[in-house]
Structure 1
Amino acid sequence: MKINKIYYVAALLLSTWACQEPVESTNERAALIDAVKEEYAPDKRVALFDVEASQDTLSGETNLPQALSALKAKMDEKGLNYVDNVALLPAADLDGNTKGVVTISVANIRSAPKHSAELATQATMGMPVNVLKKEGSWYLVQTPDDYISWVDAAGIAVMDEQGFNAWTQEEKVIYTGLLGYVYEDENESMMVSDLTAGNVLALKGESKSRYKIALPDGREGYINKSEAEPFEAWLAERSLSDQNLINTAKSMMGIPYLWGGTSIKGVDCSGFTKTIYYLNGQVIPRDASQQINEGDLVDSEKNWDKLEVGDLLFFGKPATDSTSERVIHVGMWIGNGSFIHSRGRVRVSSFDPNSANFDEYELGRYLRTKRIRQVPSERIISVDKIIN
C-alpha cells in the first residue's frame, strides 16, 4: 500500500511538472508583450493594448490589430506556442454600431464606466467618436484627438456607418455664442437643450431671426441666428490670426478651472488651449504632455522676444539625473510679455516684474515654448475633417 502511494504521488508530481511551462518561455512572452506595447501603445490615453499571457494563452483586448499581428509574428519567430484569445475592438456585440456623435452640449468622458470616476476629458455636441465597446449604460469611445475613455449612453447617439454618413452629409450650423439654448419653437416656450460654444447642429431651415436645427439624436428646435453661423462660412473665417486667437481666449476670462474640462463650462490648463484652437478650426492633442510634442521649438531660455501670439508655453519640472521631465501646465502667449492660462480660473499673467499680473510662480517653473500654429502635424487636424 505504501509503495502504491509513492507511485501515485510521483505520477501526480510528474503530471503537474509536465503541464507547467518553463519560466523562460513565460518571461519571454511577457517581454514580447511589453516590447509591442512600447512600440504601438506607449501612451495608454490614446491607444489600447491590454494584453497578457497566461502560460500559452494570450488574453485581453486591443483596438490595434496591427499591434496584435506584430506580437504574434514575434512569437512565431521565437518558436513560442500561443492560443489567441485577445478581443479586437470594436466589440462584435455592437452589431456594427461603432460610430457615435455627442448629443448634449458637453459630454463628460470618464476614466471608468461610472459617474464617480475621474473626468478624463470632455466632448461637445456634434463631435464624432469611435465606439469601441459597451458596458452597462456606458460606452468606451475614442475621440478625434484619440483619447480613449467612457461616456454615459445618454451623452451620445450611437450609429452604424450608414447613419453616421447621413449625419456628416447634413448641412450644419455651429453655435458661436458662449452659452445658449435650443428652444422647441420660435416663441422660446420650452427648452430642448442648452448649448456651448462650438456645438455643431444640423440645419433644417431658417426664418428671419431663427435657424431650425436638429440635434444628432433627432430632436429638433430653434436657435437665434445672432448666436450661430453656417459651419462652412464659420470655418472659412478661422484663419488662426493673432486677433482671432486672442479674442477667443479672452472671451473665456474668469471661467473656472475644471480638471478634465474642455468647454466653456470649465477648463483645465490644456483643455483651455485645446478649446482656443478648436474654436478657431483646429483639433490639437488633449494634454499638456502631448501638446509639448507638437510644433517647433521657439524658446527654452526665457527670451520672450522670440514668441508670437498663439505659441504654447509649457511649465513643470525639468529632468534630473534620477527623474524624467514632468510637464504640468500650459498657457498661450498673447504678446506684450503676457500669456493666458487656466489656473484656478482663466487669467492673464505676465513675465514683466513691473506688471500687476507678474507671475513669479509660473516663471520659476517655465520649461519651453512651442509653436503649433501653421506647423504641419499628423496630430493637428482641421475641424472640418472630423465634422464633414
Structure 2
Amino acid sequence: MNKGICILPMVPVREKPSDKSQMISQLLFGEVVQIKDRYPSWLFVEISHDNYVGWIDKKQISIPPAAFLEEMEDEKPVFLTEKYAEAHGKDGSRLSLVMGSRLPGFDKNTFHIGESVYKLPEEVSVLQGKQTREVVIETAKKYLGGPYLWGGRSYFGNDCSGFTQIVYRMCGYNLPRDASQQAEQGLLVSFIEEAKPGDIAFFENEEGSIIHVGILLDNHQIIHSSGQVRIDTIDHEGIFNKT
C-alpha cells in the first residue's frame, strides 16, 4: 500500500473528490497518509496518526522512498511550536510551515523530506515526546485568537476537536479526530471536583451527543475553539461566554 507525506503548510481533507466538497479535516506539513484509492486527480487516504479518511488533491502530497517512511515510523516525532516559520533548502527552495508541522529527521534546526534537507532559524521552538500538563496548557494558549474553521487543525483555522487534537499531538498524545471519538479515550472524572488543568471537557446536546470539546485551565476556565480560540469561564452549567 502506497504512503504519502504532506508537503504543504496545510492541505484540506474533503468528504468527496471535489474542490467544492466539504473539508472534514486537514493535513499539516509532514503528516503521513495511506493511499486507499484513486480517482483521476484525487486520492482517497487514511491519515496515519488518527485513521481518519477522506479525499485529497494528489498534487498536494509527495510519495517518498519507503526507507524514509520507515525512518519516520521509528523516530519520536518533532513538532514546530511557532505560529509560522520558513525553512530553506540547500537548493534555494523555501517551505512555509505552521504550528503543529512535523519535522522528519529533526537535528540542530535541520530536517529532511527524502533527500531534500531544510534548515530552520536558530531561535525556532519545537516539542518532542510526552509533555506535562503545564506544557499542554502553554501550547494551547499559543492558539489564542486563531479563527474557527470547520475541519481545520491549524492556528489559521481550527474547529473544537481539531484544536484539542493538534495541541495534544504536539505534546506527545495522539487523539482521534472528532469530539465524540475523543470522549471515548482516557478516564472519566467527576467534572469540577476531580478535573485538573490540562484535562479535556466534553459537552452534550439534549440528545446526549457530544457536540463540543475544550481544554480545562485553572480557576474554572476553559480554552476552546468557538468563533476563535478563546478562554471562557466554565461551571457545572456549562461555558459562560462573555461576548
Query: TM class by shorter-chain length?
Result: 0.7 to 0.9
Q: How big is each residue's C-alpha offset from its partner over 1:32-87, in whole Å with a ceiling of 9 and x where there is no partner?
A: xxxxxxxxxxxxxxxxxxxxxxxxxxxxxxxxxxxxxxxxxxxxxxxxxxxxxxxx
2:231 to 313, 336, 348: 348
> Are positions 1:278 and 2:180 aligned together?
no
Would you tell me which structure has more helix in proportion to its own residues? Answer: 1
Figure out how many residues of one structure are paired with residues of the other and give that number: 240
Equivalences for residues 83-94 of structure 1 within 5 A: none
Deviation at 1:274, TM superposition (A): 0.6
The 3-state SS of whatever aligns with 1:227 is: coil
What is residue 221 of structure 1 aligned with on the other side?
118
CA distance in 1, matches of 2:12, 2:223: 24
Gaps of at least 5 residues in structure 1 are 1-95, 320-324, 362-388
Rounded Cα–Cα distance in structure 1 between residues aligned with 2:173 and 2:5? 18
Q: 1:167/1:297 Cα in 2 relative to 1: closer, same or farther (>3 Å)?
A: closer
Give the corresponding residue for 1:165: 70
Partner residue, 2:128? 235
Match of 1:54 in 2: none
- Per-residue CA deviation, residues 251-284 of structure 1 (Å, 9 max, x unaligned), is 1100000100112221100111111101101110
C-alpha deviation, 1:154, in angstroms:
2.2
- Which amino acid is 1:359 matched to? N
* C-alpha distance 318-225 of structure 1, shift in aligned 2 (>3 A): same
Return the alpha-carbon distance in structure 2 between the equivalents of residues 215 and 264 of structure 1.
Answer: 23
8 Å contact 2:78–2:128 — kept in the other structure?
Answer: no
Q: Is the 8 A contact 2:204 2:211 kept in 1?
A: yes
Q: Is the 8 A contact 1:351 1:360 kept in 2?
A: no
* Correspondence 1:319-358 to 2 at 5 A: 319=207, 325-351=208-234, 358=240
Is residue 313 of structure 1 aligned with residue 196 of structure 2? no
1:151 positional shift? 1.1
SS at match of 1:248: helix
Q: Where does the alignment leave 5 or more consecutive residues of structure 2 unmatched?
A: none
Distance in 1 between the 2:226 and 2:147 partners? 8
Larger Rg: 1
Q: What is the match of residue 287 of structure 1? A: 178
Q: Secondary structure at the match of 2:70?
A: helix
| Aligned equivalent of 2:40, options 136, 145, 149 | 136
What is the aligned partner in structure 2 of residue 82 from structure 1? Answer: none
- Report the alpha carbon displacement of residue 290 of structure 1 after superposing the two structures with TM: 1.0
Pairing of 1:106-255 with structure 2 (within 5 A): 106-143=10-47, 144-159=49-64, 161-162=66-67, 164-166=69-71, 168=73, 174-184=79-89, 192-203=94-105, 211-215=109-113, 218-229=115-126, 234-236=127-129, 238-239=130-131, 241-255=132-146
Pairwise CA distance, 1:245: 1.4
Q: Give the deviation of 1:310 after TM superposition.
A: 2.0
State the 1:173 CA deviation.
5.2
Output the CA distance in 1 between the equivalents of 2:106 and 2:160.
36
Deviations 1:188-230 (A, max 9, x none): xx66120012322344875xxxx343235x544321132145x
Q: Secondary structure at the match of 1:213?
A: strand
1:20-39 equivalent positions in 2, closer than 5 A: none
Q: 1:172 to 1:286 in 2, by over 3 A?
A: closer
CA RMSD of aligned residues (A): 2.9
* Contact 1:102–1:124 (Cα < 8 Å) also in 2: yes
Matched to 1:318, the amino acid is E
TM-score, normalization by structure 1: 0.56
Q: How far apart are the structure 2 equivalents of 1:193 and 1:172?
A: 19
